[in-house]
């Protein structure tokens, strides 16, 4: 009977230990999945207790197995069972303590989670407050920069106002000093004028006496002067007529002098053509005009307003008869500043075979004599439109292409005038078709 009770108690203890082992495993899994705020997991001690209980259970099983073979030692078994019962009760108390600690830990975990949530909310509120503070700080910084700019402008305006005020005060002092000087000068002049007036009064009295004497003499001379006036009027009329004649003769002389100078110039051009010193090449549509003694010709142009004429050539075979006119010192408002060139259409032998009015296009180039290959010649486009030969050209206009204008400052450069010589190249445009029927 005692053996049966031991067996039942043994089976009960075995089942209880299994329950404890199952509960310990669940509790261990719970603690394995938690970790709070840097604290260590409380699973180590619990595992140790379970291990101890398992070892004791194994030991009890071993002992029960031994006791099953030792039926003769039942009293010892009963004692052992009592000891095991006491030990089991002690383990039950330990398990209750562990459950109590586990409940306390669960409460602490709940409180900790609540505190963490509160901390998260506080951190979010703190972040929002920080953003608002940064925004207010940036706004204040912009306002400070604006205030600094306003302060700088205010200081500048204040300094300007002080300078203007000082200048006004100084001007007031200068005006006051000048007024004092003017007042002193006026007083001095007034005193001097008073003395002069007294002297003038005395002189007037003396002059009155002299005038009376002179009046008598004048009356005597009046009769004589009347005759002389008539003679002078006749002489004045003769003199004015002589002056008018002299002015007319002087103008005629000036014009004659210019004409003589122009004739001399034309003769020199003809002599140059005969000696071939001023022309390099003449062919229909092309002329290279060599101008020698450039400085002397410029002086003559400034003195007599001379017009220099190129050799005569034709626009093409049996074409228009033309020459280039050079106003070396300019004319009208361009005088003494520019050299003007234009094309003069002459009466030719083939005019009756040509189309009129004519329209001639050409390029006039002043050659660069310093660097023939890579130089910078002056090249300009020019036109001539005439109803007939020897027709006067239109008035020079800067917007017109009938004249070309070359400044003296450009023309007198050494790369265009070398050894007192200049070369001008005249090319008639090729697209101007031949207008004769030959």
At 141-193, the pLDDT tens digits run 998 999 899 989 888 998 888 988 888 888 888 888 888 888 888 888 888 87
pLDDT at 80: 78
At 96-149, the pLDDT tens digits run 888 888 888 889 988 988 989 999 999 999 999 999 998 989 999 998 999 899
**Tokens encoding 69:** 């073979």
How sure is the predictor about 418, in pLDDT bands with cuts at 50, 70 and 90? very high
Least confident segment among 212-216, 234-238, 367-371, 434-438: 434-438
What is the average pLDDT score of the chain?
A: 79
Q: Do β-strands 422-428 and 358-366 pair in parallel, antiparallel, or remain unpaired? A: antiparallel
Q: Which residues pair with 382 in a beta bridge?
A: 362
- Classified by CATH at the fold level, domain 276-428 comes out as 2.60.210
> Do 55 and 47 touch, CB atoms closer than 8 A?
no
Residue spans per domain, the chain: 2-130, 276-428
Q: What angle do CA 37, 39, 43 make, to 5 degrees?
A: 130
Q: Name the most confidently modeled range: 52-61, 230-239, 297-306, 429-438.
A: 297-306
How far, rounded to the nearest angstrom, does the alpha carbon of residue 411 sit from its chain's CA centroid? 35
> Do 360 and 384 touch, CB atoms closer than 8 A?
yes
Tell me the three state secondary structure of residue 375.
coil
How far, rounded to the nearest angstrom, does the alpha carbon of residue 83 sit from its chain's CA centroid? 107
Average pLDDT of the segment spanning 338-349: 94
With 80 as the cut, is the pLDDT of residue 271 above it? Answer: no
DSSP 163-192: HHHHHHHHHHHHHHHHHHHHHHHHHHHHHH
CA nearest to 8, candidates 16, 274, 348: 16
CB-based contacts of 20, cutoff 8 Å, min separation 6 = 50, 53, 91, 95
């Amino acid at each position: 009977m005692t053996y049966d009770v031991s067996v039942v108690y043994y089976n009960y203890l075995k089942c209880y230990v299994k329950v404890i082992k199952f509960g310990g495993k669940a509790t261990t899994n719970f603690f394995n999945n938690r970790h709070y705020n840097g604290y260590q997991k409380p699973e180590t001690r619990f595992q140790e207790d379970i291990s101890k209980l398992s070892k004791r259970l194994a030991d009890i099983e071993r002992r029960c197995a031994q006791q099953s073979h030792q039926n003769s030692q039942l009293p010892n078994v009963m004692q052992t069972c009592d000891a095991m019962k006491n030990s089991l009760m002690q383990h039950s108390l330990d398990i209750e303590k562990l459950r109590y600690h586990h409940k306390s830990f669960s409460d602490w975990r709940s409180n900790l989670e609540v505190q963490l949530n509160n901390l998260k909310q506080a951190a979010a509120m703190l972040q929002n407050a920080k953003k608002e503070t940064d925004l207010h700080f940036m706004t204040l910084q912009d306002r400070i920069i604006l205030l600094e700019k306003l302060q700088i402008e205010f200081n500048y305006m204040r300094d300007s106002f002080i300078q203007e005020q000082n200048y006004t005060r100084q001007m007031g002092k200068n005006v006051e000093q000048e007024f004092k000087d003017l007042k002193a000068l006026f007083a001095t002049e007034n005193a001097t004028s008073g003395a002069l007036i007294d002297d003038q009064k005395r002189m007037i009295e003396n002059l009155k006496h002299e005038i009376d004497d002179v009046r008598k003499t004048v009356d005597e001379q009046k009769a004589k002067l009347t005759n002389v006036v008539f003679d002078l009027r006749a002489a004045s009329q003769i003199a004015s007529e002589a002056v008018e004649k002299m002015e007319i003769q002087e103008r005629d002389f000036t014009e004659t002098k210019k004409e003589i100078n122009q004739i001399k110039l034309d003769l020199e051009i003809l002599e140059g053509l005969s000696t071939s010193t001023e022309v390099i090449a003449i062919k229909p549509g092309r002329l290279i005009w060599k101008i020698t003694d450039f400085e002397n010709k410029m002086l003559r142009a400034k003195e007599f307003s001379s017009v220099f004429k190129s050799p005569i050539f034709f626009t093409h075979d049996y074409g228009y008869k033309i020459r280039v006119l050079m106003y070396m010192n300019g004319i009208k408002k361009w005088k003494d500043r520019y050299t003007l060139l234009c094309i003069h259409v002459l009466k030719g032998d083939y005019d009756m075979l040509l189309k009129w009015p004519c329209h001639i296009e050409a390029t006039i180039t002043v050659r660069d004599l310093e660097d023939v290959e890579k130089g910078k010649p002056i090249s300009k486009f020019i036109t001539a439109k005439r109803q007939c030969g020897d027709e006067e050209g239109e008035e020079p206009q800067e917007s017109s292409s009938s004249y070309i204008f070359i400044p003296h400052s450009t023309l007198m450069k050494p790369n265009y005038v070398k050894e007192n010589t200049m070369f001008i190249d005249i090319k008639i445009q090729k697209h101007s078709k031949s207008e004769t029927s030959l």
